[in-house]
Chain A
Amino acid sequence: MTYLYAFLVGGAICAIGQLILDFTNLTPGHMLVILTVAGAIAGGLDLYEPLLKFAGAGALVPVSGFGASIARGALAEAKRMGILGLFTGVFEYTGMGIAVAVFFGTLVALIANPKS
């Protein structure tokens, strides 16, 4: 059942992104920032947690989940070790993804060239 919810929620977040692209003059960069910041705000207010529990990867995989993960990391660490945790926790959940992108991205850039 979680798979269905993941599909519906993940699809819905992407559909919102598409509506932003088609109905405004904003670039994809702007659209990604809007969704991520929305996710970060929801995550910082502990509002993204229920959506994650409900839809799993459907809420985690879109960039809004990335933003929420940043805020959730900051909040969780702050609760654990005080105000400094806000800064140490920022990349708690997302740091691994960024490191993977940088490391394997560089590896790919070493061997592959832009095609089309």
Chain B
Amino acid sequence: MPAKKLGRSTVKFASPPIIVGTGTVVGPVEGKGPLASDFDVVLPDHAYGERTPEKSETKILEQAAKIAIERAKIEKSMVDYYMAGDLLNQIISAGYSARQLSIPYFGLYGACSTCAMSLALAGMVIDGGFADYVLVACSSHYQTAERQYRYPIELNIQRKTTSQYTVTGAGAAVLASSGTGPKLTHATVGKVVDLGLKDVHDMGGAMAPAAADTLLTHFADTGRGPKDYDLILTGDLASFGSEMLKELVRDNGVELGANYRDCGLMLFDTKSQHVGAGGSGCACSAVVTFGHVLKEMEKGTYKNVLLVATGALMSPLSCQQGESIPCVAHAVVIEA
């Protein structure tokens, strides 16, 4: 087995990369949520002065990336690779933001799992000795996602009980081979899991089995359990998906307790804000992790955090053709 690998699908970094700077931008609705004060920029509206929502998404992704570089106290030219992704066709937000940044670029697609996916890859690249600084970033936007995956924005539609609200925002982080800050110690790369669900209004339920699979694999590979972490965080399973995840891991003898939370539920006050079952989108786990969780780790609230970001890999086309929803989840461990 490779020297830095544990078990089936986990890597343990020999010299763990450090998160030396982060940047977060969120939309107006997220800016009214309970975590609002943790974010660097809160948009006044969805358009953000741009002609199209797609341009506005590119703008916030770029802005988050620039803030992260600034916080890392480095120059753009020192960044070896830019790894980014989003939800749109051909990941245009990432591509267009890379055009402005002019840093060697890897475009990633993992749907809403992109945040953890980019952290895992950046960790491998740095620990492998191929880079000193890697910038990871991802974004999502309520209006662009709504247009691509669902309906025109002003259409009269009543949310289903399990419908989720795509987070408008972008999160970025600079990982470095040396420095001070929280460390990335492990990454578990997920398999694609599909239990045959087809309801596009129930992403949480569809993604829960992927999250369970990755979580159980992580525990098996590392020999750890839920009690070994101060916080276990899923990306955007929302209320119903989290319930299903707890149920699924319970069947395998693992009990998720009070240290388990979901980014999609933390970002909003789901009772008073009209966001359905909770938040979703690439930005969901990115802004909560880079904005809120890392700040709490700095304060000492959490010592080690397991982030499991889930993504649904369908497209509107595959759904209309009657295919079920394939899902993936990637996990990373961040230690203070």
Contacts and interface: CB of A to CB of B under 8 A. Distances in A.
Q: In their complex, do chains A and B touch, with some C-beta pair under 8 Å? A: yes
Contact of B143 (A21, A25, A28, A114): A114
A74 B37 CA distance: 62
B199 A114 contact: no
Interface in A19-60: 21, 25, 28
Interface string B147-189: 0000011101110000000000000000000000000000000
Contacts, number: 14
B154 A115 contact: yes
Contacts of B152: 114
A100 to B, nearest CB: 18
Range of interface residues on chain B?
10 to 19
B157 A28 contact: yes
Interface in B113-157: 143, 152-154, 156-157
A114 B157 contact: no
Contacts of A25: 199
Contacts of B143: 114
A42 to B, nearest CB: 25
Contacts of B154: 114-116
A21 B153 contact: no
Contacts of B158: 21
A109 to B, nearest CB: 10
Nearest to A108: B154
Contacts of A21: 158
Query: For B154, B157, B199, which residue has the most chain A Cβ atoms within 10 angstroms?
Result: B154
A114 B46 CA distance: 10
Contacts of B157: 28
Contacts of B47: 113
A66 B156 CA distance: 18
A28 B163 CA distance: 14
Nearest to A21: B158
A114 B154 CA distance: 6
A116 B153 contact: yes
A115 to B, nearest CB: 7
Contacts of A114: 143, 152-154
Nearest to A25: B199
Interface in B247-290: none
A116 B154 CA distance: 7
Nearest to B199: A25
B155 to A, nearest CB: 8
A28 B153 CA distance: 15
Contacts of A116: 46, 153-154
A115 B47 CA distance: 9
A27 B143 CA distance: 20
Contacts of A113: 47
B99 to A, nearest CB: 25
Interface in A79-116: 113-116
Interface in B184-202: 199
Interface string A5-28: 000000000000000010001001
A72 to B, nearest CB: 26
B316 to A, nearest CB: 12
14 contacts: A21-B158, A25-B199, A28-B156, A28-B157, A113-B47, A114-B143, A114-B152, A114-B153, A114-B154, A115-B153, A115-B154, A116-B46, A116-B153, A116-B154
Interface of A: 21, 25, 28, 113-116
Given A114-B143, A115-B154, 12 more contacts: A21-B158, A25-B199, A28-B156, A28-B157, A113-B47, A114-B152, A114-B153, A114-B154, A115-B153, A116-B46, A116-B153, A116-B154
Which 8 pairs, one residue from A and one from B, show the smallest C-beta to C-beta distance? A114-B153, A114-B154, A28-B157, A25-B199, A114-B143, A116-B153, A21-B158, A114-B152
